[in-house]
Amino acid sequence: MEPGSGMEPGSVEPGSVEPGSGMEPGSVEPGSGMEPGSVEPGSGMEPGSVEPTSMEPLETTRGGEPASVDSLKVLFQSCDYIIVDKHWDIRIDSKMWYEKHTVQKQLGLRFPELADPRTYYGFRFCHQLDFSTSGVLCVALNKAAAGRAYHCFKDRRATKAYLALVRGWVEEETMTIDFSIGENTTEGRTHMMCIQGTDGCENPKACQTQLTVLEYGSYDGDPVTKVLLQPLTGRTHQLRVHCEAVGHPIVGDYTYSLGADSAPYRMMLHAHLLHLPLEPLPLQAAAPDPFTTPTDPRWRPHHRLRTVEGAVESLLEDRAGGEEETLLPKEQESYRESDQSIAQQESYRESDQSIAQQESYRESDQSIAEQESY
């Protein structure tokens, strides 16, 4: 029985399936006497696994196509910002001549007229994502816009939410992961981070991540949990290190599994939402959830606790409530009016803050065998 289901063996959550048919993969018929994700006695299979013959081949995984320089997905564009849905196997930028596929080059090909020759890469990236993390990435098109976004991140007013598949079934439906994270100085692992108290961990800083369970299921026959992760701080590799620290590493994290978790075609971490409380209107974008059975048939949901949309809505409401408590009356009124369309926003006041000052959590996720000391 999946953790948190609150069901007796052999029962099915009321309303969890359509009458008759339309059941999610991994569910069972009411009264069958089997728990969701269980197997026939003597079958030789582990609970939560799926018969190999029922698994669709990897070629049908729609999200498994490699990135190309002309495959940029644009979520939003204005005179100040472009927000894209970054692919899972592409770097944001690179100074290496052999890096042919980067978001920088994708932008240059799609929007050559928007490139700023005064910057090294031509575009001002407002924050960073790992090489193998997909999802929302915000790009500023001028110095002033970059400065406004920079202050949102610096002052921790930006809201970010990630989707992930993690190994095992997370028992607590919600938790705050609170481990300080530092640099790993152990030989061969200097490209990695670690929690305070680990041998070789230097310069640890306080970090917090909010974890919310969305669904229990299986990936390639192994039990996994689909979660929503909200980083409350911005440390390098924070989500990956925190999930590993609580015993639920992210599926496909080659680096932090020390090369053991290499079967999945990607690391299952996706930047789903970005909200910047800009004035007079906020900037918000969401990248579609890639962890669905139609996109990746190796993911089989068994029991849903809450939808992605519901969890994100609650997160934004909680964040907005917390912000209003610290705002003056005029500022509160400005936030109440912020539900107008983002397409209506105009250019904002100039700022001479450079995006180069931001405390990004730039990450490198090259193969362990190819890593060098930084």
Measured CA to CA in angstroms, residue 305 lies from 3, 212, 216 at distances of 10, 10, 8
Catalytic residue from among 85, 130, 253, 365? 130
- As a whole number of angstroms, the distance between CA 141 and CA 122 comes to 9
Integer Rg of the chain from CA: 22
Q: Which residues lie closer than 8 Å to 352 by C-beta, 6 or more apart?
A: 143, 147
Residue 373 C-alpha from the chain's centroid: 26
Closest CA to 77 of 345, 348, 296: 345
H-type alpha helices, the chain: 103-110, 143-154, 238-245, 308-324, 329-336
Tokens of 29: 């018929």
Instruction: Examine the residue annotation and report whether 199 is marked as an active-site residue of this protein.
Output: no
Closest CA to 65 of 128, 164, 134: 134
Tokens of 326: 């610290």
Closest CA to 215 of 151, 94, 282, 310: 310
Residues with active-site annotation: 130
